[in-house]
Copies of this chain bind each other. A is one copy, B any other.
Amino acid sequence: MSGRLTIALDAMGGDQAPRMVLRGANMARKRFPNVDFVLFGRESEVGPMLDRMKRLKQVTTLVHCEDVVSDAEKPSVALRSARDSSMRRAIEAVRDGRANGCVSAGNTGALMAMAKMLLKTLPGIDRPAIASFFPTLRGESVMLDLGANVHCDAQNLVDFAVMGNAFSRTVLGTLEPTTGLLNVGSEERKGHEALWNARAQLNEVEMPGRFHGFIEGDDIANGTVDVIVTDGFTGNVALKTAEGTAKLVSTYLRRTFKSSIFAQLGYLLARRAIEKMRKRTDPRRYNGAIFLGLNGITVKSHGGTDAVGFANAIGVAVDMARHGFLDRIRTDLERINRHPPKARAAAV
């Protein structure tokens, strides 16, 4: 796809906003010279900062909004009250076609509620899901849902599989992604009924790639499949458990390298290699959770990220827009809805 893209940014979301958002946008500007930005936020705070970033200012329009959605705000309250919020205005820009996608590091629940209300779900999709990608032994995989839906039925899981498959092809460039359902064992009657029915349906759905069947927790990091499908409760726990474990191991490692003079010397020698590894597993590299299943591209950045992480979240939105993610997923969903698998009627 040629031509310029426009990405809407919620300048007020995130622990270090708005500075972090502007600095992230400035990094993304260098990486994506064909992208314009629309910044939504308080003129008095954002304006002076933007004035100091001449090059960014050349490709950016600043739109003043009075309200900011706080992290503590309940989604239902944010929906009703924060009408002139930077978050809402950014999503509206996508809805109205003034932007090809939006990025916010603000309140996840409020962002999802607003995006769902304003953008609506894609035809055939009951519930949107949160997806993200992360490093594995074999490369990179996508997992969804990461927390939008605590309870999921078989049909939701099948929809997530279709959406994750399209995402893997579009953003990670996997031609024929393999898909697995996260469970507590690979045998047929492990886990619960929604998983059994989703498995039966996925065995019949026509998707590029291959349906692997059930996978277990250790298959996530092993990279057994390209797309990991699960309910939002399990996905959220798994993602945070993996993050916590990675942090634990690197803390042990840091302590180890400080534990003796030999270890310190060893660290100095191996430092370049270790830094390379750190870069590869840097959580900022995997920043940017995507709301899949909506009529528009919405990317949620981690609230605690810095400019580097935010620039990567912008990169995810740009990739999705540039590679026509929405068209691809619409085509996939249409094909499935036209040829429903036999088992579909049996969904829990």
Contacts and interface: CB of A to CB of B under 8 A. Distances in A.
A136 B244 CA distance: 10
A270 B262 contact: yes
A227 to B, nearest CB: 16
B269 A237 contact: no
Nearest to A135: B248
A248 B281 CA distance: 10
Contacts of A272: 260, 262-263
A220 B238 CA distance: 11
Interface in A1-49: none
Given A219-B244, A248-B221, A266 B270 contact: yes
A257 B266 CA distance: 10
Interface stretch (A57-65, A170-178, A228-236, A309-317): A228-236
Interface in A242-282: 242-253, 255-257, 259-260, 262-263, 265-274, 276-277, 280-281
A217 interface: yes
A259 B273 contact: yes
Nearest to A184: B236
Contacts of A339: none
A243 B248 CA distance: 12
A80 interface: no
Nearest to A230: B237
A298 to B, nearest CB: 20
Nearest to A248: B221
7 contacts: A184-B233, A219-B244, A234-B237, A241-B245, A263-B273, A263-B274, A266-B268
Given A136-B248, A222-B248, A266-B271, 18 more contacts: A184-B232, A184-B233, A192-B233, A216-B236, A218-B241, A221-B241, A233-B234, A237-B237, A237-B238, A238-B238, A241-B242, A242-B245, A249-B281, A259-B276, A265-B266, A266-B267, A266-B273, A267-B270
A104 to B, nearest CB: 18
A52 interface: no
A106 interface: no
A246 B232 CA distance: 23
Which 8 A-B pairs have CB atoms at the shortest separation, nearest pair first?
A217-B240, A266-B270, A218-B244, A266-B269, A221-B244, A217-B241, A263-B273, A221-B248
Contacts of A237: 182, 184, 216-217, 230, 234, 237-238
B249 A270 contact: no
Contacts of A239: 217
A147 interface: yes
